[in-house]
Amino acid sequence: MAATGEIQPAKHQEVGHKSLLQSDALYQYILETSVYPREPESMKELREVTAKHPWNLMTTSADEGQFLNLLLKLINAKNTMEIGVYTGYSLLSTALALPEDGKILALDINRENYEIGLPIIEKAGVAHKIDFREGPALPLLDQMIEDAKFHGSFDFIFVDADKDNYLNYHKRLIDLVKIGGVIGYDNTLWNGSLVAPADAPLRKYVRYYRDFVLELNKALAADPRVEICQLPVGDGITLCRRIS
């Protein structure tokens, strides 16, 4: 316990770094010891610019950015997709991890927010890896499904957009990711609300998406085409490795 008068570290759930760890101090320790000292300058700059944006709650946390970056290197990802870009923090962590000829198909309905981060991504020298498409992801995935050349073509896909569509995405992405490739579904612990009592005072959007996340988690756990691992990083990420 801190002595009276001592400055307390920020409550991360209040500032948008959604940690499900029981102690803010422990999360702060992780950030200060292992994450911030190793965070590339460009990611730091994008994180700080995003923190001033009114929707900053949506950004990927620095520890999750570090996790994604390392994961992509571990699996030697080259051809990737991201659904849900916002200002581009996870996109930049992906772009920095990929080889020079790596690719990210980046989908978002909002180009304006992507353009907040774009100058920083350009300055980092990785913008050439990104193919940004503005618009809803689902119709584009349907187009790709029609074309055999996209089947089994992605090494990694990060899904961080409209939670009520995750199962619709999964139906398509399972064909687009290669066997042995990985899909990462973000926010699968949904603010801890999955285990909240029925009468808990949840924010409206948390309550709305909660049932979709519960349904997704059940469906992924029962899907024999993937091996899964749900990690309590950020707001929870479920990794699915396609096996058939």
Distance CA(24)–CA(93), nearest Å, equals 24
Cβ atoms of 85 and 111 closer than 8 Å:
no
| Residue choice 27, 67, 86, 154 for contact with ligand SAM (CB under 6 A) | 86
Shortest gap between Cβ of 233 and ligand SAM (angstroms)? 13
Shortest gap between Cβ of 50 and ligand SAM (angstroms)? 7
Helix (H) or strand (E) holding 238: strand 237-242
Distances (CA, A) of 34 to 31, 50, 188: 6, 21, 24
- In 3D space, the residue among 122, 112, 124 whose CA is nearest the CA of residue 85 turns out to be 112
Residue 209 binds to ligand SAM (criterion: CB under 6 A): no
Distances (CA, A) of 135 to 20, 83, 109, 157, 228: 31, 10, 4, 17, 29
Residue nearer to ligand SAM on the CB measure, 8 or 132? 132
| Residue choice 187, 191, 217, 238 for contact with Ca ion (CB under 5 A) | 187
Partner from Ca ion, ligand SAM, none contacting 236, C-beta within 5 to 8 A by type = none
| Residue choice 113, 188, 191, 217 for contact with ligand SAM (CB under 6 A) | 113
Residue 164 binds to ligand SAM (criterion: CB under 6 A): no
| Residue choice 9, 40, 136, 152 for contact with ligand SAM (CB under 6 A) | 136
